[in-house]
Amino acid sequence: MELSTIISPEGVIADLKANGKKQALMELSARAATITGVHERTIFDILLERERLGTTGVGQGIAIPHGKLSEIDRLFGLFARLSQPIDFESIDEQPVDLIFLLLAPQGAGADHLKALARVSRLLRDKETCEKLRHCDSVEAIYALLTDSARPHAA
């Protein structure tokens, strides 16, 4: 699964300012609303509901909040680099500075899981994360996300 099919440059935030997890999710929900056409409160509520099941802060400064919405018909991704790391109640108790938000249609079982796995693989790569932390523009972040997502021949 190519990340370029689920994320667009409009879905990249290079310098998200948030004081905590809830504010970060609110800001991401607002951006997601403009991209998906779904009300931001609907998106925010789905994300909070998922966080109540367990944190999506996966460690090493990364969070992958996600949820399913009946109002959309395809996968949507958003990526944010935070201006300052925040507490996300991560499994390693470290603050988060990179967030990849994934929204899937209600019935997208396998596609949702494939996309989560793809994002997780990408963000487990320490070199990619360091590059994401030092990119100087939305365009550079988008290029890195979509280029790094492609398998490279050995």
- Report the CATH number of the 3-148 domain: 3.40.930.10
User: Tens-digit pLDDT profile for the chain (154 aa)?
Assistant: 789 999 999 999 999 999 999 999 999 999 999 999 999 999 999 999 999 999 999 999 999 999 999 999 999 999 999 999 999 999 999 999 999 999 999 988 788 889 999 999 999 999 999 999 999 899 999 999 998 555 443 3
User: 97 in the Ramachandran plot: left (φ > 0), alpha (ψ -120 to 50) or beta?
Assistant: alpha
Domain ranges of the chain: 3-148
Query: pTM score, two decimals?
Result: 0.93
Cα→Cα distances 84→16, 20, 133, 142, Å: 8, 10, 11, 20
Task: Name the catalytic one among 39, 66, 112, 134.
Answer: 66
39 catalytically annotated: no
